[in-house]
Amino acid sequence: MRKRNESVTLEHERFASSAPAAAAASSSSCSSQQPDKGFSLRPSLRLPGSSRPAADSGMKRTLGRRHGMWFRLRKVVIWLLGVYIAIPFLVKLCPAIQAKLVFLNFVRVPYFIDLKKPQDQGLNHTCNYYLQPEEDVTIGVWHTVPTAVWKDAQGKDQLWYEDALGSSHPVILYLHGNAGTRGGDHRVELYKVLSSLGYHVVTFDYRGWGDSIGTPSESGMTYDALHVFDWIKARSGDNPVYIWGHSLGTGVATNLVRRLCERETPPDALILESPFTNIREEAKSHPFSVIYRYFPGFDWFFLDPITSSGIKFANDENVKHISCSLLILHAEDDPVVPFHLGKKLYNIAAPSRSFRDYKVQFVPFHTDLGYRHKYIYKSPELPRILREFLGKLGHEHRH
């Protein structure tokens, strides 16, 4: 009997000791749950279920971002395509846009230079003039004397420079290309080279370029060049006068020389650096035209507006009417005026009847030299080329 009571007592004590622990466990693990449903395993069973909505929402945000990015990209592509298609129609409706792209006279490089002070560009033997070819047209001119007389030129005025044209040194009238001014870096470097070889160098900005006043046009540019040529001839006496045109300036140069030959006052020689055949072929070959070159109706959209604006620069036609010696310089790696256009112009000029009594020479510069469109002045061979070509002409001129 005692044993039974002891066992009952032990069972009672065991139950009594375990009851507070169970109650504590129930209250700690299910404090947020209803008392009658508080089991310690229930929260752990809900953890996987509770993380799935967060993962789904994260995936939705990622997909949303991707969708938004593609949507924006598609809008940009559609916008660019619209602009691409609209530009040809805009050019066709406003031919003046194409004329501005040909001249690029609104691009003034380098910026912030004072064209009245050529000495700021390292030309300490250069004088700045202003001439007036027509009413309401004023053009800025630079005259660089030969390096041999640079000391005598220090502090001299315009009258002294004009008188210096009558010295025994030949004169080169330089006609620059589009964009920039007479103070362009590569142009200034060429003036220095030519001056060191004993030439007067006279250059100017066409109407509408640099600080010259007027509206650009092919006929206006040609008339400006004619006015400066006549101004030089009135002061240079019997000294040889050569005309040098670069890039778009070759179009002005052949226009000028053709006109001079027609009035029987040709220059002593014509030098064309990086020339093209005509403006239509040049525009079609220009890097800017790459994205539209195969656009349906390219000629109608882009080339016809140039012609309708009175811009032709027909070098290939002009050389058939020129009667003076011709030197063509062209770099094989020229990215602006392709080499094959210069070679094609030479092939047109060489057999022309107008050149039968004159020298026609083509000088290529290999791709490895890296002279591209405007760095032929760097060639160490250039002085020799000019001496051999112009030197012989000068000898013939004197005799």
- Residues with catalytic annotation? 247, 334, 373
DSSP category for residue 85 = H
Nearest to 282 by CA among 271, 293, 268, 291: 293
Whether the Cβ atoms of residue 243 and residue 324 lie closer than 8 Å to each other:
no
Rounded to 10°, the helix 42-93/95-103 angle is 90
What are the distances in angstroms from CA 138 to CA 53, 78, 84, 228, 276?
78, 47, 39, 12, 28
State the residue for tokens 């530009």.
87
Alpha-carbon span 375 to 335, nearest angstrom: 12
CA atoms within 13 A on the CB side of 85: 5
Q: How many CB atoms lie within 10 A of CB 317?
A: 14
What are the distances in angstroms from CA 62 to CA 50, 56, 67, 72, 76?
20, 10, 9, 15, 21
